[in-house]
Amino acid sequence: MYRDIITYELTEGITKDHLLDVAQDIIDAWMKNLPGFISWEIHVSEDDKYTDIVSWKSKVDAKNAELEMMKIPNVGNWFACYKEGSINSVALKSVKRF
């Protein structure tokens, strides 16, 4: 399994509920149909910093999805949620699951 870990802050005026609605739209319209997609979890800390964990079957699947991101219907709604300059990303490959 391969995971993309993305941290970010929301743009001023964007609510958690709005983010979750936009994320659900992306899942329904695009992500659930991608080869290798497993899940997308959204977490928020007490200081309102967000962390997404997107799980894929393989690194190839994750990278192919990245190449397709601009084909997401209403992609601007998604990008508008993120505070400019706040996005950071790291990828992790599972070694062993206990």
Beta bridge partners of 4: 54, 91
Average pLDDT, integer, range 47-62: 96
For residue 1, the tally of other CB atoms under 10 A from its CB is 14
98 within a domain of the structure (yes/no): no
Angle CA(26)–CA(45)–CA(77) in degrees, nearest 5? 25
Q: What is the CA radius of gyration of the chain?
A: 13
Flag whether pLDDT at 4 surpasses 80.
yes
pTM of the model: 0.90
35 within a domain of the structure (yes/no): yes
Q: What is the pLDDT of residues 36-46, one digit of tens each?
A: 999 999 999 99
Q: What's 66's domain CATH number?
A: 3.30.70.100
Flag whether pLDDT at 97 surpasses 80.
no
Q: Which domain holds residue 7?
A: 2-93
71 within a domain of the structure (yes/no): yes
Q: What is the pLDDT of residues 74-84, one digit of tens each?
A: 889 999 999 99
76 within a domain of the structure (yes/no): yes
Cα 43 versus chain centre, distance: 11
Average pLDDT, integer, range 11-32: 96
Considering its fold, how many domains does the chain have in total? 1
